[in-house]
Structure 1
């Protein structure tokens, strides 16, 4: 019980430090003269570092058999990334800090695995919902902080808040208790075999699209669309807060039993359909209040959908291979976090924002078809 509370609090602080600057990053960098393509690269660097590191970190965690050191390291690196942004508050400083944040985020798998180990096999959906709720709450708190203080204190001070959260997180993680390491850890080739599991692969790819769309639109270029329509900084912050409130509420809902009355096939297809509608509407409606309302949809995907995808991806993974499987899952969706913002930025430079968002919408519709066609029986759906 003690570990559960500490991990949830640490997850909150971890993502507070990681996302304190996000609602204003795109417009901040644009003010420095950065192009949409370069902003996409900065955003994508966060996912790129995770793409490279998450599977090796997962294998290492399974071999070591302990997670506390990874939680502490992740916290320290999150604070260090905020420190880089504070010392070098320009476009290139944010690029290198984004890489460092990605290295930090590669340790997130240990948060999730260590927390899931606090629950039995039949409560894994509940565990996923609660840990996702905690990190979404941290992001929400970060966005509220940014909205309240960005115009008053600026980007550097927001990043100092992130450093403080990281320091508190390190102190909390140092209090975690771990059991004895398993006697014989699986070999690296044996661990890597889990990466061929079809459930793990399929749900990882769906998460790739969900996370990619979220990072390319809601976490990046939607704020620029609002800015182009004349929105003030407070409206940009409100946009992110609406998205995160939706994420927090839907994360809580995902931890409840009643969602099992409908198949995951139903939920996955329905929410990806909503994401497609979001991508087609946001760059074309030209009306700020409606865009703010639409922010509820990616929030639903970030909380509810992501919890389901995580649980389903890990459904056939034995305990001794969970970190490797989680590393694979997170590395795959990091492809979307890295590639989609870069793709969106480059297409926006060439064909405009509407074209880039429509492509994201097409990806979401492909996921709808995949869920409907491939998740046919009760066990899979």
Structure 2
């Protein structure tokens, strides 16, 4: 997408804004979505509406492709993605509270299967028909998801304490939740500044065509299909949550700094594979940990709060790397972004994570 925007004349700053718009709408909506969902104890309706919005976000770019419709489309895509709060909490409700990291790992693996298939098909499609038709593919698949969402069974009524807006203070005052939110910001900052932001620009400068740019994201997503589930089931058991997070952030930090120095496309693919493993060891883990010890009536709000807060990283990552890239070059931007991973590691060692 970043190379598509660049081809349409967008500056690095505009590319950063396009990528950041996805996180902006999520940051605005995720807490309200979590609160409303908990107040009415409903989640299915948000899944349905989210898929409908996803259709529209892709359709406008296909019909009127420009940096500005891409900006608007990404904002709407973020609106759709904000309902991931409801997806994850609904799914984790099928498991015991102590198995939240397992549940989140499984649903994130399913999510990665979707992303892996999407970028693989999109790479092939763009090679023969052009990048614009990727948005048509997204529209069609979004419509399929929208129709399937009506077959989700109704949620069972749960006897629990009614949610009060004042309960949000309980979340805000919880140091463990705030620490996980901080780590979530740093994780998303690195990811959206690099693979979902400017790593494709690095690949383009190494001579990647549209199909090879699709492979770039494919190699990033592929290991996450397996490792997202492994992190929540196997790694937690043998290494503990803290060590799993340290390894994951360590991998992402080193590889982010190395990205602009990679001499050829094949090594860049390898970097993305290992980066995908690192993300799979951090991101699903944090999502599971943030609701692990939370009461049922606060789980969607807590997840909404967490996902809204980590949206800050989705906004600032690509925007700041874009600004730094315009002024000092992409190499400086990648190194600066990678240093934030060191901040995450220091934070985990200083504050700790309960296993």
TM-score (norm 2): 0.96
Matched residues in 2 for 1:158 and 1:75: separation?
17
Pick aligned residue for 1:276 from 238, 253, 261: 253
SS in 1 for 2:172: helix
Match of 1:161, SS state, is helix
**Deviation above 4 Å: which 4+ runs of structure 1?**
181-184
The number of aligned residues is: 354
* Residue 236 of structure 1: how far off its partner (Å): 1.4
Q: Distance in 2 between matches of 1:349 and 1:368?
A: 28
> Within 2, Cα distance between the matches of 1:161 and 1:285?
32
Segment drifting more, 179-188 vs 85-94:
179-188
Give a deviation string over 1:309-330, Cα, whole Å, max 9, x none: 1111112210001111000110
1:216 corresponds, among 193, 202, 208, to: 193
Verify the 8 A CA contact 2:98 2:292 in the aligned structure 1: no
Partner residue, 1:190: 167
Q: 3-state SS of the aligned residue for 1:230?
A: coil
Pair 184,124 (structure 1): closer, same or farther in 2 beyond 3 Å:
closer
Question: Which region of structure 1 is more displaced relative to structure 2, 336-345 or 268-277?
Answer: 268-277
The structure 1 residue matched to 2:82, chosen from 106, 111, 123, is 106
* Distance change >3 Å, CA 199–CA 183, structure 1 → 2: closer
1:168 to 2:144 alignment: yes
The match for 1:179 among 156, 162, 168 is 156
Please state if 1:304 is matched with 2:281. Answer: yes
**In the alignment, what sits opposite 1:11?**
none
Which residue of 1 is the match for residue 20 of structure 2?
Answer: 44
Q: Where in structure 2 are the equivalents of 1:1-381 lying within 5 Å?
A: 25-177=1-153, 178-180=155-157, 182=159, 185-257=162-234, 259-375=236-352, 380-381=354-355
Query: Secondary structure of 2:65's match?
Result: coil
Cα distance in 1 for partners of 2:97, 2:27 equals: 28
Compute the RMSD of aligned alpha carbons.
1.5
Which 5+ residue runs of structure 2 have no aligned equivalent?
Answer: none
Task: Please give the per-residue CA displacement for 1:73-114, whole angstroms capped at 9, x wherever unaligned.
Answer: 000000110111111211001000111111111111000000
**2-side partners of 1:288 and 1:59: how far apart?**
45
Tell me the alpha carbon deviations over residues 103-145 of structure 1, each in whole angstroms, 9 at most, x when there is no partner.
1111110000000001112322210110110111111011101
TM-score, scaled to structure 1? 0.90
Deviates more, 1:91-100 or 1:266-275: 266-275
Summarize deviations over 1:242-299 as a string: whole Å, max 9, x none. 1111221211312434531112111111111111111111102322221111002321
Aligned to 1:9: none
Query: Is the deviation greater in 222-231 or in 301-310?
Result: 301-310
| Structure-2 separation of matches of 1:290 and 1:114 | 39
